[in-house]
Amino acid sequence: MNSLVHSISSIFHPIFSLFGWLMAFFYGIIPNYAFAIVMLTIVIMGVLTPFTVKSTKSMMAMQKIQPEMKKLQVKYKGPENRQALNEEMMKLYKEHGVNPVGGCLPMLLQAPFLFILYSVIKGLSNEVLKNGKLVPLPRYIPDHGKMHDAIVLAGGHIKTFGMDLSLKPFSPHGSTAAAIPFFVFVAIAVALQYFQMAQMTNRNKKTGTAVPSQQQTLQKVMPILFAYFYMIIPSAVVLYMIISTVIRIITQDVMFRVGISNPTKGQEKEIQGAVKEDVEVDKPSTFKSQQQSRSKAKRKRKAR
């Protein structure tokens, strides 16, 4: 097992070092661990945001075609029609440009970054045995830089605003009061995830789009599962999740406001186009009737 972990660490070591270098760079600007993590999160989300936009559009498109999907499920009901149903569903996806797994893309892409950040944070508080004593030896960050020297001077702790961000909610904190901020971090992270999912649900209600029951269940269960996850990872990684969720909330809000993710936008354009065509078709007949009315009026005046 140890050899496997060592092999994986060796493969990812250049990536860990890159993220460690970025964190140390931001720490060099403002010597605060929270600031360094927030800035690193912004960089990561800058890479992930285009995928988040694509995923949100895919989710909205999936919800838009729910009525048609249900019709197909009724039409091809039964195990004997399973292949035909799958073929028709794939045609429907292709016709509307929908990726059925597109909604999971941000979460799938987020996982490697969580693993990398967790490894880097763990490496910051790395210790080695020297002359019979454990001494701090931070990994993945440049030696003898501001961040490296600060961690060594603090005995391997990465303290910010009185919190050691390398610790977890149930780590030894010395007192109950000292542990409270760590649980608050978890509560904020979970609350923001609920808010992000509620933001999507409320948008669907406004546009009259039905939300599948499976998605509603997932929206309720996922934050609970993540609450457990947040309990067993360093608070520095929880801080990353808090900032990344805030960025996703802002991204979704901008998308909703400008209409990028409006599932009825295409329908509205079609309706407006149809109305415009009707008006244009009616214009010649309206013009003709007006000319006929004017001719009649002239004939009446001449007769008088």
The pLDDT, as a whole number, for residue 102 is 59
Highest mean pLDDT among 60-74, 115-129, 193-207: 115-129
What residue has token string 């140390």? 24
Q: Which residues pair with 160 in a beta bridge?
A: 163
In a domain, 159, yes or no: yes
- What's the average model confidence in pLDDT over 41-65? 80
CA distance 289 to 273: 25
**From CA 151, how far away is CA 155, in angstroms rounded?**
6
Q: Using the 8-state DSSP alphabet, how is residue 210 labeled?
A: P
Q: 35 CB contacts (<8 Å, ≥6 apart)? A: 26, 27, 29
Name beta bridge partners: 159: 164
Q: 67-74 — which CB contacts under 8 Å span 24+ positions? A: 67/210, 68/92
Model confidence at 270, pLDDT cuts 50, 70, 90, reads very low
Structure tokens at 41: 């999160």
Please report whether residue 290 resides in a domain: no
Residue 38 lies in a domain: yes
The number of distinct structural domains making up the chain is 1
Please check whether residue 160 lies inside any domain of the structure: yes
In a domain, 141, yes or no: yes
Cα atoms in the Cβ-side hemisphere of radius 13 Å centred on 79: 0
Residue 255 lies in a domain: yes
The backbone torsions φ and ψ at residue 224, rounded to the nearest 5 degrees and listed phi first, read: -65, -45
Residue 210 lies in a domain: yes
Nearest to 116 by CA among 177, 203, 41: 41
Q: How confident is the model at residue 192 (pLDDT cuts 50, 70, 90)?
A: very high
Winning range, highest mean pLDDT, from 9-13, 139-143, 174-178: 139-143
**Which stretch, 65-74, 171-180, 289-298, has highest mean pLDDT?**
171-180
**Per-residue pLDDT for 298 more than 80?**
no
Checking if the pLDDT of 54 tops 80, the result is no
- Cβ–Cβ under 8 Å, residues 111 and 125: no
- Mean pLDDT across the stretch 263-281? 46
Residue range of the domain that includes 66? 2-259
For residues 262 and 256, the answer to whether their CB atoms sit within 8 Å is yes
Q: Rounded to whole angstroms, what are the CA distances from 64 to 60, 130, 162, 202, 211?
A: 6, 63, 48, 15, 9
pTM of the model: 0.71
- If you search the block for the tokens 């009061």, which residue do you land on? 177
Q: How large is the average pLDDT for residues 33-51?
A: 90
- Mean pLDDT taken over the chain: 78
Please report whether residue 288 resides in a domain: no
Average pLDDT over residues 156-176: 89
Q: Is the pLDDT of residue 38 over 90?
A: yes
pLDDT of residue 8: 63
